Amino acid sequence: MTYLKRISLVLMLAVSFLQAQVPDGYNLWLVYRGINNNQMLKEYNEITKSIYFVADSKILENAQNELAKGLTGMLGPSSLHLTTLSAASNSLIIAKKSKLTPNQLSEIGIDFDHLGKEGFLITTVRSHGREVVLLTANEDVGILYGVFRLLQFMQAQKKIIGIRLIDAPKIELRMLDHWDNLDRTVERGYAGFSLWNWQKLPEFIDQRYIDYARANASIGINGTVLTNVNANAWVLTPMYLDKVEALADVFRPYGIKVYLTARFSSPIELGGLSTADPLNEEVQRWWNVKAAEIYKRIPDFGGFLVKANSEGQTGPQNYGRTHVDGANMLATALQPFGGNVIWRAFVYSEHDATDRAKQAYDEFVPFDGKFNENVLVQVKNGPIDFQPREPFHPMFGAMPKTPLMMEFQITQEYLGFSTHLVFLPKLFEEVLDADTFKKGQGSFVARVIDGSLDQHALSGMAGVANIGNDLNWTGHPFAQANWYGFGRLAWDPYLSSETIAEEWLRATYSNATEFVEPMKKLLLGSREAVVNYMDPLGLHHIFDTGHHYGPGPWVDNLSRPDWNPVYYHKADEYGIGFDRTPTGSNATAQYAREVGDSFNDLKSCPDEYLLWFHHLSWDYKLKNGHSLWDGMALKYQQGVDEVKEMIATWDQMIPYVSESRHKEVKMLLNIQLKEAKWWRNACLLYFQTFSKKELPLGVESPEQTLEYYKSLKFPYAPGIKPRW
Ligand code: BDP
């Protein structure tokens, strides 16, 4: 063995040793496995032979470090061959537009305006009779995003020579909302404690903050709300702002801005004022001064996310004022510094007997056009609350003068916590693809959100994070795909869930067709499975109380009517479902006529939303010919059967994943199966007390009695709301 070969063997062993030190799953989709396709290996070695890439800013340093990491993992140690600019020898040129020569610019021949602040171009140009790969952008952050994409293509073993990819985000604010409390518990968090170690900050910078930022930058997420919407004013004190500043410093060179939740009553709690009335001058001054204090430390602070007059949080209505008064007061404080207010539309009141699904629309739509320019109204994807399936929120079709920001929930509060394998991009895609008919056919929710339908400069998409300090970040190894998929859809809301599934599987696990194809099918089918075994045919909010773990369709004793599952399913001897047509709550009138009519008419209402909009007899004939009772029972069974199929597929995947990962997911899938049966049994036994009908052929008999399922209690289920 030559000396050089020996050295490189030692290096290779060192790299694999180092990689082995990282727990399985920690590296997320940034695993950077060795390339095993010889033809592609040859191409990538050729491309990376002579790289021109000057890292003269913090962002570019991070981009270059990532390139080194990626190439080392995929091509072997010391694969980052940096050289000076030389037309005769460079094989890969990574440089901002301002660094390119007029010759190169004319060869690329694109309008850089299309790339905006964050977009990038990866293309191949011919120089000195060779193909040269060129990655360029207007700004450093575009280069960072482009480097991640280039590495992703290589990991997926795609051809790069000949490529011409122009990509820029379609949505401006692409954010994760952490519902993290200052004591490190996470509301609705199922992946351990909060990443933010407040006690050790600002001095101690956990490597996880950096790896969190890398993961986010790799999918284009550019904002993070550090704290829970059920907010704690303490985070606005100088002591905590020191810590927030330290996090902002870590995230900035990855293109990520920090946001905080603003507790509306902070001027009272921290400022000693007697009121938080948004029209009171002292209150306004308090917020103005607070904003200036924050921006002095964090010049690129993103702004405030606010939950007001909702589920016990105070807000402007406590002082006889409106959402507009509250939001605009904060917007005025942030405006001089370029910050935004994200005001949530998740409101409903126990004092209002109106169908809960209608309340947010009723409260907000009259305010269209009244919010300041730096206010976005953040709307949950559906009108109730992050259910496994909801029709799109009617507000998306009704506020043309206000930038509406999408709020998805990535953490699986209503989808089996971090135990159930559910690929959420399928759910997100269904909502984004829905047609509001706001401006005629083709007025998709995606077009409302990206601002293109109503020409808004400001646009945003938020996902309630599923991240905690678990070794693999998300609890379930496959829940990583939901973080990934959210980011990709926030970047481009027109991407298909299939594309996302494929990208993620290839990056995280393997390129083998025998793995990618069946696993893609598994991922894409997993969302329908959970709907079937929890909430088929438009049922919703029949979860057990408070913690939302498992079924509780019988719950009827909560203080607020709209917290009780019986409010939502309305089962009786005649039938089941919530009549939201004109004979009932008339919630369908909040949609454009085309949409409302199609929900109202049983002939056109999709089966998926049947019981969301209609109260129907147990004997009602479904489109497939079954009676409603039989059809519902068969759906519950189908959900269980689908989980069995998922397990059978996973059993075939042993050759493609590590032994420990295989075992881990297998155990989780077995719990999912047990819980799917629990859902089926509990719901069918309970609804049977009304339908008084036998279970149809093909539906397995419940193992336990209804009394047994009702007796199950989970006082220590994870993720429960804090009580302060
Ligand atoms: C509900 C959650 C609750 C959140 C609330 C919200 O159960 O923990 O505080 O949403 O979005 O689904 O404000």
**Ligand 1 atom closest to Cα of residue 548:** 7
The one-character DSSP state at 270 is: T
Ligand 1 pocket test: pick from 309, 384, 721 the residue with the most ligand atoms within 8 Å of its Cβ. 721
* Pair (460, 438) in one structural domain: yes
Residue 586 domain-assigned (yes or no): no
* Pair (186, 139) in one structural domain: no
Q: Whose CA is nearest to atom 12 of ligand 1?
A: 385
Each residue of 612-646: pLDDT tens digit?
A: 999 999 999 999 999 999 999 999 999 999 999 99
3-state SS, one letter per residue, for 588-611:
HHHCCHHHHHHHHCCCCCCHHHHH
560 CA to centre of ligand 1 in angstroms: 15
Residue 598 domain-assigned (yes or no): no
Q: Whose CA is nearest to atom 2 of ligand 1?
A: 188
**Ligand 1 atom closest to Cα of residue 407:** 11
* Pair (184, 155) in one structural domain: no
Ligand 1 pocket test: pick from 177, 178, 188 the residue with the most ligand atoms within 8 Å of its Cβ. 188
The CB of 187 under 6 Å from ligand 1? The reply is yes
* Pair (383, 415) in one structural domain: yes
Nearest to 62 by CA among 72, 74, 70: 70
The one-character DSSP state at 577 is: -
* Pair (188, 157) in one structural domain: no
Three-class secondary structure of residue 398 per DSSP: coil
Q: Which of 495, 515, 550 is the last residue of a domain?
A: 495
* Pair (278, 222) in one structural domain: yes
Per-residue pLDDT at 21:
60
DSSP letters for 312-375:
TB--GGGGT--HHHHHHHHHHHHGGGT-EEEEE-----TT--S-HHHHHHHHHGGGTT-S-TTE
Per 3-state DSSP, the chain is made up of helix, strand and coil in percentages (nearest 5) of 45, 10, 45
Residue 82's domain is classified under what CATH number? 3.30.379.10
* Catalytically annotated residue among 118, 140, 172, 385: 385
Residue 606 domain-assigned (yes or no): no
Each residue of 582-591: pLDDT tens digit?
A: 999 999 999 9
DSSP letters for 657-673:
S-HHHHHHHHHHHHHHH
Residue 516 domain-assigned (yes or no): no
* Catalytically annotated residue among 139, 180, 355, 413: 413
Distance in angstroms (rounded) separating the CA atoms of residues 78 and 67: 11
What is the reported pTM?
0.96
The CB of 188 under 6 Å from ligand 1? The reply is yes
Whether 269 is a known active-site residue: answer no
Q: Which of 150, 167, 184 is the last residue of a domain?
A: 167
Residue 624 domain-assigned (yes or no): yes
548 CA to centre of ligand 1 in angstroms: 11
Upper half-sphere CA count for residue 168 (Cβ side, 13 Å): 18
Name the helix (H) or strand (E) containing 286.
helix 281-297
* Pair (279, 379) in one structural domain: yes
Distance from CA of residue 156 to its chain's centroid? 23
Q: Which of 495, 523, 548 is the last residue of a domain?
A: 495
CA quadruple 370, 403, 465, 318: dihedral, nearest 10? 10
> In this prediction, what percent of the chain has a pLDDT beyond 90?
91
Q: Phi and psi (nearest 5°) for 628?
A: -55, -45
Residue 490's domain is classified under what CATH number? 3.20.20.80
Whether 355 is a known active-site residue: answer no
Residue 512 domain-assigned (yes or no): no
Each residue of 251-264: pLDDT tens digit?
A: 999 999 999 999 99
Distant-in-sequence, close-in-space partners of 691: CB < 8 Å, separation ≥ 6: 576, 618, 629
What are 140's two structure tokens?
A: 């450093």
The CB of 346 under 6 Å from ligand 1? The reply is yes
Per-residue pLDDT at 562:
86
The CB of 543 under 6 Å from ligand 1? The reply is no
For the chain, the average pLDDT equals 95
Beta bridge partners of 125: 132
Per-residue pLDDT at 8:
47
Per-residue pLDDT at 666:
98
229 CA to centre of ligand 1 in angstroms: 8
Whether 413 is a known active-site residue: answer yes
* Pair (223, 82) in one structural domain: no
Residue 249 domain-assigned (yes or no): yes
* Pair (97, 243) in one structural domain: no
Cβ burial 458-468 (10 Å sphere, 16+ → b, else e): bbbbbbbbbbb
Domain count, the chain: 3
Please check whether residue 599 is in contact with residue 577, taking contact to mean a CB–CB distance below 8 angstroms: no
Q: Whose CA is nearest to atom 1 of ligand 1?
A: 385
Residue 699's domain is classified under what CATH number? 3.90.1330.10
Nearest to 385 by CA among 243, 148, 188, 640: 188
**Ligand 1 atom closest to Cα of residue 721:** 8
Asked whether the predicted pLDDT for residue 77 surpasses 50, the reply is yes
Asked whether the predicted pLDDT for residue 304 surpasses 70, the reply is yes
* Pair (72, 193) in one structural domain: no
* Pair (485, 565) in one structural domain: no
Asked whether the predicted pLDDT for residue 549 surpasses 50, the reply is yes
Each residue of 82-101: pLDDT tens digit?
A: 999 888 899 999 999 999 98
Model confidence at 693, in pLDDT bands (50, 70, 90)? very high
Provide the domain limits for residue 565.
Answer: 532-578+615-711
Residue 135 domain-assigned (yes or no): yes
Mean pLDDT computed over 449-468 = 98
* Pair (294, 399) in one structural domain: yes
Asked whether the predicted pLDDT for residue 9 surpasses 70, the reply is no
